[in-house]
């Protein structure tokens, strides 16, 4: 070992190499633009959630209880994209520029084109209605993963648990890929499609961890393990593989699961995404508000 290199630094480098991610930014100040602070962009919502970045860098998000999807246009501001959204929650853009939406009240996942037309992606599993689709992610090949918990009233529930489903890109029936988490919530995969993060997080469940899985070519998941000892409503990844969870603040973890720090937000955050034309702005949904923070890193 060369003089002056601490064993802890070597251990960290080896751990990061094992995850396939670049060793970078082990303190929070490395991630945030110098002098930047969290800025409120809009407020007056009921419960904001599910931010998703469009190909042009604009950000769409849900007001779940307000039953509306909003659009934040860079340089212009807020507009309404879709009313009567089925109390949409998680959103994500597919490779064709369509918006995938988890409609919690309608108990379905839909695909919405920018002209407003839409189609149903999934609304049942083995002939039984879904619970309440919550969060969603799609990989480059078009395979879709979504969580389907039911929080609160169990009236009308047909599924025998809370699961994560995979929608194959070839149009074959949806598959249940996780069946052993009490409250699967936030869902996000890496850009290369090799890892899937699932936050097990729900009121009254007694479960609060974030897991990571290895994805297989057929969409199945293997090697599930705890990534972080806290759950999350939603999450995002930056270009270095750091994971941003939403708990009391935005909790940032390195690719190997070490906590880097907490980004404080005026309201308890629910979800995050990198957006803007350069993907270097962190957009945060937090209860009645919609916030941003200028970053020194870009989204994945």
The DSSP string of 127-145 is TEE-S----EEE-TTS-EE
Residue 137 has pLDDT above 60, yes or no: yes
Q: Which residues contact 207 (CB under 8 A, 6 or more apart)?
A: 181, 182, 183, 200, 201, 231
Report the number of distinct structural domains present in the chain.
1
Report the pLDDT averaged over residues 121-145: 97
- Residue 6 in any domain: the answer is no
- Residue 1 in any domain: the answer is no
Burial class (CB in 10 A: 0-12, 13-18, 19+), 205: middle
What's the chain's average pLDDT? 91
Biggest alpha carbon–alpha carbon distance for the chain: 66
User: Roughly how many angstroms between the first and final C-alpha of the chain, as a whole number?
Assistant: 33
Residue-wise pLDDT tens digits, 201-247 = 877 666 799 999 999 999 999 999 999 999 999 999 999 999 999 99
- Residue 274 in any domain: the answer is no
CA distance 126 to 131: 13
CA distance 57 to 52: 9
CA distance 83 to 67: 6
Report the pLDDT averaged over residues 290-300: 98
Q: Which residue has the higher pLDDT, 39 or 202?
A: 39
- Residue 284 in any domain: the answer is no
DSSP-assigned beta bridge partners for residue 108: 103
Phi, psi of 248 (to 5 degrees): -75, -35
Helices and strands (DSSP H and E) totals, the chain: 1, 26
Residue 21 has pLDDT above 80, yes or no: no
Q: What is the CATH number of the domain that holds 73?
A: 2.120.10.30
Domain enclosing residue 106, as ranges: 48-237
Task: Dig out the tokens for 210 from the structure.
Answer: 């974030």
Report the chain's C-alpha Rg in angstroms. 19
For residues 63 and 47, is the Cβ–Cβ distance under 8 A?
Answer: yes
pLDDT at 25: 55
Name the pLDDT band for 144 (thresholds 50, 70, 90). very high
pLDDT at 189: 98
Long-range contacts of 258-261 (CB under 8 A, 24+ apart): 258/12, 258/26, 259/228, 260/25, 260/26, 260/27, 260/28, 260/31, 261/27, 261/28
CA distance 265 to 252: 13
Residue-wise pLDDT tens digits, 55-90 = 999 999 999 999 999 999 999 999 999 999 999 999
Residue-wise pLDDT tens digits, 154-197 = 888 999 999 999 999 999 999 999 999 999 999 999 999 999 99
Q: Is the pTM of this model over 0.75?
A: yes
Report the pLDDT averaged over residues 39-56: 98
- Residue 185 in any domain: the answer is yes
């Amino acid at each position: 070992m060369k003089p002056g290199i601490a064993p802890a630094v070597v251990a960290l480098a080896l751990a990061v190499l094992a995850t396939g991610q670049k060793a970078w930014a082990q303190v929070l100040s490395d991630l945030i633009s110098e002098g930047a602070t969290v800025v409120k962009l809009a407020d007056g919502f009921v419960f904001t959630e599910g931010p998703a970045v469009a190909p042009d860098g604009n950000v769409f998000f849900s007001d779940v209880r307000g039953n509306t999807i909003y659009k934040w246009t860079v340089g212009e501001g807020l507009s309404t994209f879709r009313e009567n959204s089925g109390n949409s929650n998680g959103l994500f853009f597919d490779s064709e520029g369509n918006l995938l939406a988890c409609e919690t009240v309608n108990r379905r996942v839909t695909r919405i084109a920018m002209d407003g037309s839409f189609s149903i992606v999934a609304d049942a599993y083995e002939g039984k209605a879904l619970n309440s689709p919550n969060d969603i992610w799609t990989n480059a090949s078009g395979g879709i993963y979504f969580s389907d918990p039911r929080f609160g009233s169990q009236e009308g529930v047909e599924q025998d648990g809370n699961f994560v489903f995979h929608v194959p890109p070839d149009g074959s029936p949806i598959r249940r890929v996780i069946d052993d988490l009490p409250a699967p919530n936030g869902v996000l995969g890496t850009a290369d499609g090799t890892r899937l993060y699932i936050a097990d997080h729900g009121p009254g469940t007694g479960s609060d961890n974030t897991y990571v899985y290895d994805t297989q070519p057929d969409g199945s998941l293997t090697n599930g393990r705890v990534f972080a000892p806290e759950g999350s409503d939603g999450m995002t990844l930056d270009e270095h593989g750091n994971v941003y969870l939403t708990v009391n603040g935005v909790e940032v973890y390195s690719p190997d699961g070490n906590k880097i720090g907490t980004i404080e937000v005026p309201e308890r955050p629910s979800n995050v995404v990198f957006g803007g034309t350069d993907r270097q702005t962190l957009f945060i949904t937090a209860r009645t508000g919609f916030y941003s923070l200028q970053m020194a890193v870009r989204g994945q």
